[in-house]
Structure 1
Amino acid sequence: MSAKAIPVDDMPAPQSADRRIAVAAHEIRTPLGGILALADLLLAEDLSEGARGHANALKAAAEHLFGLSTSLLGGAVPTAPKALDVDLFLARVSPPLAARAAVKGLAFRAVRAPGAPDRVLADEAALRQIVDNLADNALRATESGSVELAIERVSGDAETVTLRIALRDTGPGVGPRPELLFAPFAQGDGAQGAAGLGLAVVADLARGMGGEAQAFDRPSGGAEVAVTLRLGALDVRAANGPIRVLVAEDNAINQRVVGTLLEHFGHGFDVVENGAAAVAAVGGGDYDLVLMDAVMPTLDGLAATRAIRAMEGPVGAIRIVGLTARAFDEDIAAFLEAGADAVVTKPISVAELWRAIDVGERQATG
């Protein structure tokens, strides 16, 4: 993977390169939209747990590529940093990378090193772009052995934390001039088919987050390509313990999905199968948060939300997060107008649900 630069005279003019990238990004978006639609259709089927996991990983990878193509067209806007669970982030980014490694017969693992924080404030889409480009570089260069993704803590204080995201491989190494890996239109040996832009994007993103990109040969062989990033720190003591969640959902598969996630988050929960039962349960005053499905028998989620908001005292102000497969703007707006504090669309995104739970947890323990 020793770096080599394309001679200046052979490099396309910037406008020509930008034009080619924009055209390619535009053409990529159409089939990706089809893949996303097919993934949604798959997730609507009665799948085994393993198949559902594969379909979710497929959709997550396609969503990321769709966002990246939008970014290349100039239409994406960086998102504000939000609370990000590092373990959940690794759980989301790892399956597609592990699958690519398996195709080449490589071992793959992702680790949060001892001392690395549980949570940070970060732009998750930017972090995903960094990881995917670093991993793409490592997987292209490595023909045998292994690839490892590691997130490590470098330093930190009460307000910020410096993290290091590293990809370690057993490929040929970076060569005598590793800095060229981060130059646009430079490629490492064995990077056939690559445009030489991925690591340049990584370097730009790292600089935008107060860090830098690094590359060097490992003493044991292979390469390590990494970034340091200065991110917002989150004091995990702000959330001192589990909260009690009421899940109003009539679909057995969705009950299982939400319940599994809540167990992973460390929260207790009860399940009811219709809006009337949800209203009655909230009246008991034992819950900190309600996850309310939109379409249920007896009383739908919007009507149940309005009924809860009409209650007197603290129970009427309980945090309610709507769950809906109807992702049109007017459907989400109707849920919010009914009194929901937030709405998470189906298929449920772990990141979106985590943010909803995280806010509820901080309200309950603050």
Structure 2
Amino acid sequence: MSATASFAEDCEAPDPARRIAVAAHEIRTPLGGILALADLLLAEELSEAARGHAAALKTSAEHLLSVASALLGADMAPRRAEEVELDAFLARVAPALEARARSKALDFTVLRAPGAPARVIANEAALRQIVENLADNALRATASGSVSLAIEPVACDGAEATLRIVVRDTGPGLGPTPERLFQPFVQGESARGAAGLGLALVAEIARGMGGGVEARNRPEGGAEVAARLRLAMPRRPAPAGRPRRVLVAEDNAVNRRVIATLLEHFDLAFDMAMDGAEALAAVSAGGYDLVLMDATMPTLDGLEATRAIRALPAPHGAIRVVGVTARAFPHEIAAFRAAGADEVVTKPLSVAELWRAIAGEAAAV
């Protein structure tokens, strides 16, 4: 069955939640390509106007990705974690928020407070959802004055850090029961214009990251709303070996271009296979020591091709296989591993996670 037919069949399923989950998964695949291509555009020498267009394209795609993730239930569980450099993260999320503040003549400041670590292990999309929802609430409620965003330390022992992502504003405050804002469909009196789900999503994400949420009225006026997170600190893995030649099994042209660019960045030699049958034939002929295997392909899908590779005689059947999939529910990843994949990475591809998988490094925890 083709991927298109499978998608159509899943979307005709009677369960609305299943239809939404399938659609959200499928949306993530082209968005991964759009985001990667936007990054490539931004790495080129562009005019100021073109750079602005590319940045806006990336921001819009990131927002759509966060919406698709939210449709999956505050993103997929477990969330993919990687090393996040917090100053760079703030530099990525701040411009759009600053533009909104300027449109209302508000001052907007961003700070990584003294004592907050420079790097943490976290899911950046989750951090972005927290920041954007906290800031959106404050920007809608505040008519004059300022809004500030800060990442502040609570505790840090070198292996783990507890941080607060906090937004403060000079708006009308939160009323007598600030904690109600974290309930679904509840809005502040002066923050109309949304469904009342943003802060409920923040609360769910924060709990999933070992923390919680806080809200209070500031004595000097305005509100303070924060998410408290418990995050691991990065460990530097020992250098690992690198493959000599990689086979990429991927039927989507945009994804092939994205992966090719990443492998060129890693200075790795590679060949492309258009489906699982081509990949199986190429591995059988030898000359490769790693396969990047897409999950959904015509003729022979990634799981079937991986099982067939594992059935080959040594040494061909022992080649390292890294599964690549946009369908990243835990049972789907487990099925890929059960088929014989050594590692599985999810789309949109993370450069750091892809390199760890290729090099055979253990992910930091």
What TM-score comes out, normalization by structure 2 length? 0.58
Aligned to 2:150: 150
Aligned to 2:237: 239
Aligned to 1:356: 354
Aligned partner of residue 350 in structure 2, secondary structure: helix
Aligned to 2:206: 206
Aligned to 1:78: 77
Aligned to 1:66: 68
Unaligned runs of 5+ in 2: 1-14, 43-50, 249-253, 310-318, 327-345
CA contact (8 A) 1:322 1:335 kept: no
Q: Alignment identity in percent?
A: 39
Unaligned runs of 5+ in 1: 1-21, 263-268, 276-292, 310-315
Structure 1 residue 225 displacement after superposition: 0.8
Structure 1 residue 62 displacement after superposition: 0.4
- In the TM superposition, what are the counterparts of 1:149-298 in structure 2 within 5 Å? 149-157=149-157, 159-218=159-218, 222-231=222-231, 233-236=232-235, 238-239=236-237, 258=262, 269-270=266-267, 275=271
**Structure 1 pair 108/157, CA: closer, same or farther in 2 (3 Å)?**
same
Q: Write the letter of the residue equivalent to 1:79.
A: P
Aligned partner of residue 342 in structure 1, secondary structure: strand
Aligned to 1:342: 322
Structure 1: distance between partners of 2:55 and 2:284: 31
Structure 1 residue 134 displacement after superposition: 1.3
CA contact (8 A) 2:28 2:348 kept: no
- Number of residue pairs aligned between Structure 1 and Structure 2: 301
CA contact (8 A) 2:356 2:363 kept: no
Structure 2: distance between partners of 1:243 and 1:82: 23
Q: Write the letter of the residue equivalent to 1:55.
A: L
**Structure 1 pair 35/361, CA: closer, same or farther in 2 (3 Å)?**
closer
What does the per-residue CA deviation read over 1:35-71, in whole Å, with 9 as the maximum and x for residues that have no partner?
A: 9869967987999532333322221210111221332
**Structure 1 pair 29/192, CA: closer, same or farther in 2 (3 Å)?**
farther
Structure 1 residue 226 displacement after superposition: 0.3
Structure 2: distance between partners of 1:120 and 1:305: 42
Structure 1 residue 242 displacement after superposition: 11
Structure 2: distance between partners of 1:335 and 1:92: 39
What does the per-residue CA deviation read over 1:106-145, in whole Å, with 9 as the maximum and x for residues that have no partner?
A: 4555443343334444455544433332122112112345
Aligned to 1:112: 112
CA contact (8 A) 1:98 1:108 kept: yes
Structure 1: distance between partners of 2:195 and 2:173: 19
Report the more deviating stretch, 42-51 or 215-224. Answer: 42-51
Q: Is it true that 1:53 corresponds to 2:55 in the alignment?
A: yes
CA contact (8 A) 1:213 1:228 kept: yes
Aligned partner of residue 361 in structure 2, secondary structure: helix
CA contact (8 A) 1:294 1:322 kept: no
Aligned partner of residue 116 in structure 1, secondary structure: coil
Structure 1: distance between partners of 2:19 and 2:207: 27
Structure 2: distance between partners of 1:258 and 1:131: 28
What TM-score comes out, normalization by structure 1 length? 0.58
**Structure 1 pair 30/203, CA: closer, same or farther in 2 (3 Å)?**
closer
**Structure 1 pair 344/93, CA: closer, same or farther in 2 (3 Å)?**
farther
Structure 1 residue 181 displacement after superposition: 2.7
Aligned to 1:14: none
Q: Write the letter of the residue equivalent to 1:342.
A: V
Structure 1 residue 193 displacement after superposition: 2.6
| CA-based RMSD | 5.3
Structure 1: distance between partners of 2:111 and 2:129: 18
